[in-house]
Amino acid sequence: MIRKLFHRVFRRGGPLPLGTPGKPGLIPLARHGIHRDSVSPGARRTCEALQKAGYTAYVVGGAVRDLIAGIVPKDYDIATNATPEQVRNLFRRSRIIGRRFQIVHVMQGSETLEVSTFRAAHDADTIKDEHGRVLRDNVFGSMAEDAARRDFTVNALYYDPTTQIVHDYHHGVADLQQKTLRMIGDPAVRYREDPVRMLRAVRLSAKLGLTLDPAVRAPIREMADLMENVPVARVFDEMLKLLFSGHAVECVKRLRDDGLHHGLLPLLDVILEQPLGEKFVLLALTSTDARVKAGKSLSSGYLFATLLWHEVLANWEIRKARRELPTPALYEAMDEVLDQQGEKLAITRRIAGDIKEIWALQPRFEKRAGKSPHRLLEQPRFRAAYDFLALRAESGEIDQELATWWHDFQMADLAGREAMLLPDSGPKKRRRRRVKKPADGLVHAGDALSATESTVSDED
């Protein structure tokens, strides 16, 4: 029995060295697998410059977590014992930002590194609102305090590019390997300090394939109302991260399972309860996940246009039933839906403009005669609007024939496009030239004949 225990402890890949209270476990390169060359040059240069100036500096948080999990980080954060002013004085291309907690943006070539000073633990002097949310937090502390302040154990990891050692205060590397997402401290208290952590728990568990620790998951449903107290701009930013994580479908499912969809996308329940709406949204999210994994560009406007489209459709149908003109009714429906959503999500004017352009172009795809198709191709948002049309067809909302026609039309040359145009079924207006009356007010025979010939010529 004892021999098996020793074998389990000391074999390669066994339990990782754990830190004692206030001291981190030191995880070597052979155990965590992060070689300095896999860290961005800008992050390495920033850490090296701070260390040469006599400060400690580490790549911290999500970048370390992702590198251990085999995921390429989108950005890098640096933690240091240098104050924001000291960091600012050390790097020419840098600026101090933030109110609640000041950080420094350091520009290294095309990279922007976020450098933060170690934060102190909360105490009786920490300013909070009536719900327990921290409002101001500009107190500096030690590295151990900074680690204890982070939300999840997998985010409390500090990597030194010089020594290639990971400093692990809360067994985050072990939790990553055991596929468990655990909170540092009491989850209920931590959610009150920052309710957005509930969204992060869903996003990280879906992204990394982790199971929420029971203590992390249990309070979420009953504390979901705390999201009402979060500024809409922060909710919107976190929702973008969630929807563009590459695991949006899984995230949405987990949002519903944990009761977090209420108040985030208030219309999500309505959308997903409609057979066509649910299929449409899931197809859109699946497409977004595929684009993320393929490294393709993403559009916030396009994604939110898909999430809210069926609510616009329902609103539009109500207005048309009241005998409102179709085009004005569509614009009224669009404005109403975006106004309702704006109460919960800080959709910027630019994104709202993109959304409305995509929606407004949809009826124009029905016109396949005359010059209308050519003019539609020239629209700046044509490609996004066409992709939206194709999604509508795939979900069964419209006939696939329409999307196929537009695919072939845009691929054809000019002669081919002309041949594809449908006959104009609208009423033709009879054009006649006006006959100028002579000064005596009489129409002479020659003038009458000329008028007749011009009429025939126009009709031919």
By annotation, the residues acting in catalysis are 75, 77, 151
Residue 357 tokens read as 């352009």
What's at 351, amino acid-wise? Answer: I
- Rounded to whole angstroms, how far apart are CA atoms 77 and 98? 15
Gap between the Cα atoms of 313 and 318, Å rounded: 9
Integer Cα distance of 324 and 40 in angstroms = 57
DSSP 427: P
Residue 146, sorted as left (phi over 0), alpha (psi -120 to 50) or beta, turns out to be alpha
Residue pointed to by tokens 């980080």? 73
| Sequence-separated (6 or more) residues with CB below 8 Å from residue 163 | none
For 228-245, the three-class secondary structure string (H helix, E strand, C coil) is HHCCHHHHHHHHHHHHCC
User: CA-based Rg of the chain, rounded to a whole angstrom?
Assistant: 31
Q: Answer yes or no: are the C-beta atoms of 250 and 212 closer than 8 Å.
A: no
H/E stretch holding 39 reads: none
Beta bridge partners of 104: 96, 115
DSSP state of 402: H
